[in-house]
Amino acid sequence: MPEIIIVKNEAEAGDIYGRCVADLIKAKPNAVLGLATGSSPLAAYRSLARIVKDESIDVSQVQGFALDEYIGLPLIHPESYHATIHRTVVEPLGLDPAKVHVPGDVLNGTPLEDGAKIASAGPAYDAAIEAAGGIDVQILGIGTDGHVGFNEPGSSLASGTRVKTLAEQTRIDNARFFDNDINQVPTHCITQGIGTIMKARHLVLLAFGSGKAEAIEETVEGGVSAFCPASALQMHPHATIIVDEEAASRLRHKDYYRYAYTHKPAWQGI
Ligand code: GLP
């Protein structure tokens, strides 16, 4: 069962992540960070960047692996996750771009029809994560349908990195990045699988706003099911879910989660 932390706002959640990862990098300069796109992690990256600067932390050895990428977008497309991760993480944190990887890096706009090239990219990505020593902390957002990365409802909970078809709802949700035109949103993606994500040593999922309340309820208090891929976090030995009041609004046991976190010894961290 993940630890649930209910915070006032995204900035407070960001500071919890920032402190956790800054301490990790101090202890392990070549830490491997699992990175995510979307709006939910932005305050967390900002907080980490601030701490890294204030405390002069050396991040030159830090490695990064992003969760997912659209199929068919060239790397230089501003909405490719390659470009997004470089804009929101690599540059503000001052990471070495050569040490930060996105699953579609080798594809760079390769069309879906090029099966041989596309099919081999997933297993190669999982092998690269293993070779780097595995992910220490994986940050996650959540889709309104409970997806993590781009593992849509129905995804195998044991899956590795592979090509998936995006759900219509996800394309509608993400059309805001493509001139509000769903036709510009790619139909397919390559994403770390749930099995890949579950191998990370610590998972930190962030969700804010009432639009995420139902997905959080299913993730935390529903059954473990491929129909809510994020519910796999219930099976992870070290998962932390940080939510604001709106995203927590449907949780039946929120008083207990609040009580447990308030009484947690500081030395435990998250
Ligand atoms: C996309 C990404 C997910 C992300 C989700 C939610 O679908 N592939 O990794 O969690 O969007 O995005 P947001 O945080 O903007 O709500």
Domains delineated in the chain: 3-264 (3.40.50.1360)
- Residue ranges of the chain whose pLDDT lies below 50: none
Pocket perturbation via mutation, ligand 1, pick of 79, 138, 142, 161 by most ligand atoms within 8 A of CB? 142
Pocket perturbation via mutation, ligand 1, pick of 37, 81, 142, 172 by most ligand atoms within 8 A of CB? 37
pLDDT of residue 238: 98
The pTM score is 0.97
Percent helix, strand and coil across the chain, each to the nearest 5? 45, 15, 40
Residues near 76 by beta carbon (within 8 Å), at least 6 away in sequence: 83
pLDDT of residue 100: 98
Active site residue 69: no
pLDDT of residue 43: 98
Active site residue 77: no
Query: How far does residue 143's CA lie from ligand 1's centre (Å)?
Result: 5
Active site residue 54: no
Side-chain half-sphere exposure of 38, counting CA atoms within 13 A: 23
What is the SS3 string spanning 52-92? HHHCCCCCCCCEEEECEEECCCCCCCCCCHHHHHHHHHHHH
pLDDT of residue 1: 86
